[in-house]
Structure 1
Amino acid sequence: MILLQANQIARYFGADTLFENIHLEISTGSRTALVGRNGAGKSTLLKIIAGLESPDAGTISKNKSATLGYLAQDTGLDSDETVWNEMLKAFDVVRQMEKRMREVEVTISELLPDASNYDSIMKEYDQLQHEFAEKNGYGYENEIRSVLHGFQFDASFYDKKITTLSGGQKTRLALARMLLQRPDILILDEPTNHLDITTLAWLETYLQNYTGALLIVSHDRYFLDKVASEVYELSRKKMRNYKGNYSRYLELKADQLATEWKAYEKQQTEINKLEDFVARNLVRASTTKRAQSRRKALEKMDRMDRPQGDEKSAHFLFDIERPSGNVVLQVEDAAIGYDALQILAEPVNLDVRRKDAIALVGPNGIGKSTLLKSIIGTLPFIKGSAHLGTNVTIGYYDQGQAELHGNKTVLSELWDEHPTTQEKDIRNVLGGFLFSGDDVEKTIPLLSGGEKARVALAKLAMNKENFLILDEPTNHLDIDNKEVLENALIDYEGTLLFVSHDRYFINRLATKVIELSETGSKLYLGDYDYYLEKKKEEEEIAELLAKETQTHTPSTPKNEFYQNKEQQKLIRSLNRKITQIEEDMATLDEKISELELEMVKPELLDDHIRLMELNQSLEAARKQQEDFLNEWENVSLELEELE
């Protein structure tokens, strides 16, 4: 059933058009993502759909019985209540129903079965019970506890006044209350902002099981892959719809663009032939009629517009002045925090080697940014110190852009640090980060979060250091520019240590993951998905050990036997996995050979469409081959450690 329709929606600013002719449908149970560049109008469109703003053209039609909830990005909960009492407000209807049930119960206890209103009272009570159960009346308090726990609020927060909490905590509570209200249409604008990885994973699972329809704007591609089942793209003032999650949307978009180019080029070839025929034959008496006929065909032809690919994105590289030694950074048994009484994590151990790309993960507040600042020397270690290797030069990206000067223009921000560089070269660098013309004369305070991020990245690119330490570098960047940053860092010849909540970003870059916790640091040799897999294995082993402890009180030798047994079980599992990977690689090798032989068949040499299809299949197979090889290396390394 269609719950909401947006028809021919437009928003104008004077003579400028933000978007127009927008059509969008939300149906029962739909999982819809709205994507597009910063400034495309996504948040404005959400406000129009939610009824907070009126469109300049078009209409919004909503099912009268459907409830709608909208949460703007970075909205904090504003309330004088305690956390618990504010969450209870999401169930006011249920609580009123519960109150009425108690009243009816008292009435029933005082009524005789032959009373004139006995049947009507019992009927009301049965109806109340049914609706109360449907609305989770017997479990709403547990639901509140579950959602608060998911957003990292334990029982110690329940009686705290919301006015005493931090901005980030208020933002999480606003989202928690909206989820508890369970509207039929839930509209969320950047709900993943400021959530740590654990909370993000919980929110994904919650939304996957959400009974209502979802419309979400997010720059978190991993999140969109998990939650969305269709994507609307707002680009160049228009809207397009794609079925599938974010990764599928990228594939369909690329296929669509390729198809459009083929059709456009085919038509251009036809037009050129017709124009050439007209030009050569119009003045010749014997062929003038045919030329006139072709000219009429040209005039009647519905000419295709030149296909437009992605909108302009940043384009840049991170070079290095000179390479570092093999050992880049070492930290041994360190403690981080603000003083000896407020240690956040201990012991912290890092061994960073040249060309490592290390992601630092952990819950909010555990000290990830603190560790980075201790490494660069702006905050002292509580215990221990950082030791840099030979020829190591550090480039640091601060998520708060504190390194930028508030009174400078974009141009002078870079030029003052590189005064011997010619202005045109500075402008060329800034152009790669989408600052051109008068944009470079803007002062830093007038820039948006995304623009400040691009200035900070431009400064980093200019300095050419060989060890980049990055604190949330994808914050404020839209999806397109995140991908540009990823590609630049993948091609970077130096070493990376970075903090990020963007799991897609971590997967593309990280060769190692270091988890930070109160008990220190722990190294995982792989990307984010590998880290998740290992964490799951550790949890399963911990559960097995807990069950063994509950059923037996084993002596030390039995404990050792049990641990050896579990280790042997893991070794057998890893050996099976290696065998399976090797079998898959052998099958893939045969497929690659078949594709290569197919491509050189004489009958296909002029079949460009078939050759293109075969080449795409070959590239996909080679990519899969590389993935298998990486997985084989990771599993083999893990097996070596166990043996």
Structure 2
Amino acid sequence: MTMIQVRKIKKHFGDKQILDQLSFEINEHDKIGLVGINGAGKTTLANIIHGDIVPDEGTITRRDELKVGYLLQSVDYFVNDYKTITSDFLEIASELGLNKVHSWKEERFLQLSGGEKLKIALAQIWSAPPDILILDEPTNHLDLHGVNWLVNQLKEFKGSVIIISHDRYFLDKTVTKIFELEQGKLVIYNGNYSEYRDEKKKRYEEQSHQYQVQQKYKEQVEGQISQLKQWAGKAHHTMREQEGMKEYHGVKAKKRDKAIKSKLKRLHQELEKNKLEKPIEEKKVRFQFEANQKRGKRAVEANNITKMFSDRILFKNSHFYINSGERIGIIGPNGSGKTTLLNILLGNESLTQGEISMSSGQKTAYLSQDVADMPIAQTAIEALHLSEQEKLFQARTTLANMGMNAAKLNQPIGTLSLGERTRIKLTNMLINEYDLLILDEPTNHLDLASREQLEETLSKFAGTIIIVSHDYYFMNKLCDKLLVIDQSEIKRFEMNLEQYELKKVQQSKPKRHEVEEELLRVNTEISAVLGELSFLTTHSEKYMELDARFNLLAKRKQELLKQQKKN
């Protein structure tokens, strides 16, 4: 069944054409990944599908009473947004790791991390199930637990899904079709992200070969045209030299002219017939980080560190170290203190207890995940605070290498996309030599080509790198060591993310007696919850909380019964 039908839509912003003659259908159960470089028009198309923007031309036909849930790219919620809390919302919030949301005080809402805000937004959308989900960068702030929850929910979701994402791991796990926006046009591929990349490469190579064949044929035809024109010129020259036989040669020249014009017309028609355009070569993005070679053995050392906010403990009594030249990833659930730890390393946040020492003379660069802290009234060049002509030239070259049009350097930052703002921050790091790079969600808002190139460049950086990222592929490729924040403690692991996740799975496999013990505990708790529910009215806050708890326990019971059968 067709949910939405789009026919020949166009959209301009000023003189720039964003979407050009797009036609497609969204059918029931479609799982679509919408990809393209920054500024390609992905969010514009999503807003048109949702109905927030009207196309300049074309038509959109929606099924009657179609419900569309839209997760925006930038989520910013306030305390008032949580006044209406249903049992479904509480259940989903709990599944995402946000326990006892109903009892959170106003101060707790003011301390929400980006990931916690995103989880609440997802719980609100999922608690009022739509027919079509539009998710714009849904994993930018989600921890791995949240990503895996979302992957599983999307597998079970019966409606259609459109996902705008630069997260390759997430796209591979969730979509079965790719819509690629490129230069205003839409190309559709079947399969997940990896299959799309393979198919796109194959199509490019085939089109390149056909284009080269066409160019050789074109050269041959143009050679024939040139020769015919020379013959025509020679015939007229002969006629002028032999005036006495003017009439004879005139007739002959006219016949030759007619034959040549007919031949030229046929050759031009052949060139235009089945004409192939030169295939668009993918934009190459170049990064180059330089490291200062003067550094000590230990870049960072932490002894017995504790960090609290009021009565909330993020981590306590933790010890770890980071050697110079290591590439280390920091992981943990949303709200566990990853960004806070980075701020402590940068000296922007104080410890409650303990000590962190940094290598003396170490030059540190920091890329924050928040691009909203940039001076939106300033231009990119002004924001970089460049006065030396050499540095200014280097900055312009660097931004150009990252695919930013030179004209955009003089535009106010407020008019630039989030990806373009991230590039400006990266430029500030690239034009200086650093020993330590601290990167908080560095791939947020970067397009796929830029992510892959940034991975390659960072893998060659000689200095120390500390990364917080929810991009599974990015983190797994770069970091061979981890700092894990778990149960209010920071621990160091000598392994990458894939190895760590495999270890967790192996450790979490319960033995038969453990399954039976937990099943007994769950059954006991279900009985207790049902007993309490029988004394409550269905509209009370306590009833909704217990109802959400009951649904979670019922799901857990089913999981345990399946495990019991396997054992």
Aligned to 1:324: 295
Contact 1:187/1:215, CA 8 A, preserved across alignment: yes
Relative to 1, partners in 2 of residues 1:346 and 1:231: Cα closer, same or farther, differing over 3 Å?
same
1:304 lines up with 2:251 in the alignment: no
Report the secondary structure of 2:279's partner residue: coil
Match of 1:377 among 331, 347, 350: 347
Aligned to 2:438: 469
1:148 lines up with 2:118 in the alignment: no
Match of 1:523 among 484, 492, 496: 492
Relative to 1, partners in 2 of residues 1:147 and 1:296: Cα closer, same or farther, differing over 3 Å?
same
Deviates more, 1:402-411 or 1:214-223: 402-411
Q: In structure 1, what is the Cα distance between the partners aligned to 2:354 and 2:324?
A: 22
Q: How far is the alpha carbon of 1:226 from its aligned partner?
A: 1.0
Relative to 1, partners in 2 of residues 1:74 and 1:356: Cα closer, same or farther, differing over 3 Å?
same
Q: How far is the alpha carbon of 1:68 from its aligned partner?
A: 3.5
Relative to 1, partners in 2 of residues 1:232 and 1:292: Cα closer, same or farther, differing over 3 Å?
same
Aligned to 1:411: 381
Aligned to 1:201: 148
Q: In structure 2, what is the Cα distance between the partners aligned to 1:313 and 1:421?
A: 24
Q: How far is the alpha carbon of 1:490 from its aligned partner?
A: 1.8
Relative to 1, partners in 2 of residues 1:214 and 1:403: Cα closer, same or farther, differing over 3 Å?
closer
Aligned to 1:180: 127
Contact 1:474/1:502, CA 8 A, preserved across alignment: yes
Q: How far is the alpha carbon of 1:377 from its aligned partner?
A: 2.3
1:479 lines up with 2:451 in the alignment: no
Aligned to 2:462: 493
Q: Which runs of 5+ in 2 are unaligned?
A: 236-255, 520-567
Q: In structure 1, what is the Cα distance between the partners aligned to 2:472 and 2:132?
A: 27
Q: In structure 2, what is the Cα distance between the partners aligned to 1:210 and 1:221?
A: 20
1:358 lines up with 2:328 in the alignment: yes
Q: In structure 2, what is the Cα distance between the partners aligned to 1:412 and 1:492?
A: 28
Contact 2:93/2:119, CA 8 A, preserved across alignment: no
Cα-to-partner distance string for 1:420-463 (whole Å, 9 max, x where unaligned): 73543343233334455443334555544333321221111122
Contact 2:8/2:22, CA 8 A, preserved across alignment: yes
Matched length: 491
- TM-score scaled by structure 1? 0.68
Report the secondary structure of 1:48's partner residue: helix
| Aligned AA (2:62) | K
Match of 2:338 among 350, 368, 388: 368
Q: How far is the alpha carbon of 1:230 from its aligned partner?
A: 0.5
Relative to 1, partners in 2 of residues 1:337 and 1:486: Cα closer, same or farther, differing over 3 Å?
farther
Contact 2:31/2:177, CA 8 A, preserved across alignment: yes
Relative to 1, partners in 2 of residues 1:253 and 1:491: Cα closer, same or farther, differing over 3 Å?
same
Q: In structure 1, what is the Cα distance between the partners aligned to 2:166 and 2:381?
A: 28
Q: In structure 2, what is the Cα distance between the partners aligned to 1:517 and 1:228?
A: 31
Contact 2:443/2:471, CA 8 A, preserved across alignment: yes
Relative to 1, partners in 2 of residues 1:159 and 1:414: Cα closer, same or farther, differing over 3 Å?
closer
Q: In structure 1, what is the Cα distance between the partners aligned to 2:209 and 2:153?
A: 43
Contact 2:93/2:101, CA 8 A, preserved across alignment: no
Cα-to-partner distance string for 1:575-627 (whole Å, 9 max, x where unaligned): xxxxxxxxxxxxxxxxxxxxxxxxxxxxxxxxxxxxxxxxxxxxxxxxxxxxx
Aligned to 1:86: 85
Match of 1:226 among 173, 177, 181: 173
| Aligned AA (1:533) | L
Contact 1:427/1:436, CA 8 A, preserved across alignment: no
Report the secondary structure of 2:452's partner residue: helix
Contact 1:82/1:159, CA 8 A, preserved across alignment: no
Q: In structure 2, what is the Cα distance between the partners aligned to 1:256 and 1:455?
A: 33
Q: How far is the alpha carbon of 1:356 from its aligned partner?
A: 1.9
Identity %: 29
Relative to 1, partners in 2 of residues 1:279 and 1:406: Cα closer, same or farther, differing over 3 Å?
closer
| Aligned AA (1:366) | S
Deviates more, 1:457-466 or 1:469-478: 469-478
1:535-614 aligned at under 5 Å gives the runs: 535-540=504-509, 546=514
Contact 1:415/1:426, CA 8 A, preserved across alignment: no
Cα-to-partner distance string for 1:493-519 (whole Å, 9 max, x where unaligned): 222111111212112211122211243
Report the secondary structure of 1:187's partner residue: strand
Match of 1:347 among 301, 317, 326: 317
Contact 1:33/1:216, CA 8 A, preserved across alignment: yes
Report the secondary structure of 1:315's partner residue: coil
Q: In structure 2, what is the Cα distance between the partners aligned to 1:475 and 1:280?
A: 58
Cα-to-partner distance string for 1:474-500 (whole Å, 9 max, x where unaligned): 223233322232222122222211111
| Aligned AA (1:172) | K
Relative to 1, partners in 2 of residues 1:318 and 1:187: Cα closer, same or farther, differing over 3 Å?
same
| Aligned AA (1:460) | M
Q: In structure 2, what is the Cα distance between the partners aligned to 1:550 and 1:230?
A: 41
Q: In structure 1, what is the Cα distance between the partners aligned to 2:436 and 2:82?
A: 46
Q: In structure 2, what is the Cα distance between the partners aligned to 1:81 and 1:475?
A: 25
Match of 1:509 among 478, 503, 506: 478
Q: How far is the alpha carbon of 1:202 from its aligned partner?
A: 0.8
Relative to 1, partners in 2 of residues 1:404 and 1:69: Cα closer, same or farther, differing over 3 Å?
closer
Q: How far is the alpha carbon of 1:272 from its aligned partner?
A: 0.9
Aligned to 2:34: 34
Contact 2:33/2:179, CA 8 A, preserved across alignment: yes
Aligned to 1:258: 205
Match of 2:401 among 415, 432, 455: 432
Q: In structure 1, what is the Cα distance between the partners aligned to 2:61 and 2:378?
A: 48
- TM-score scaled by structure 2? 0.77
Q: How far is the alpha carbon of 1:233 from its aligned partner?
A: 0.7
RMSD over aligned CA atoms reads 3.4
Report the secondary structure of 1:385's partner residue: strand
Contact 1:18/1:41, CA 8 A, preserved across alignment: yes
Cα-to-partner distance string for 1:243-289 (whole Å, 9 max, x where unaligned): 11111111111111111111111100111122223324553489986
Q: In structure 1, what is the Cα distance between the partners aligned to 2:456 and 2:408?
A: 25
Q: How far is the alpha carbon of 1:14 from its aligned partner?
A: 4.7
Match of 1:240 among 174, 187, 197: 187
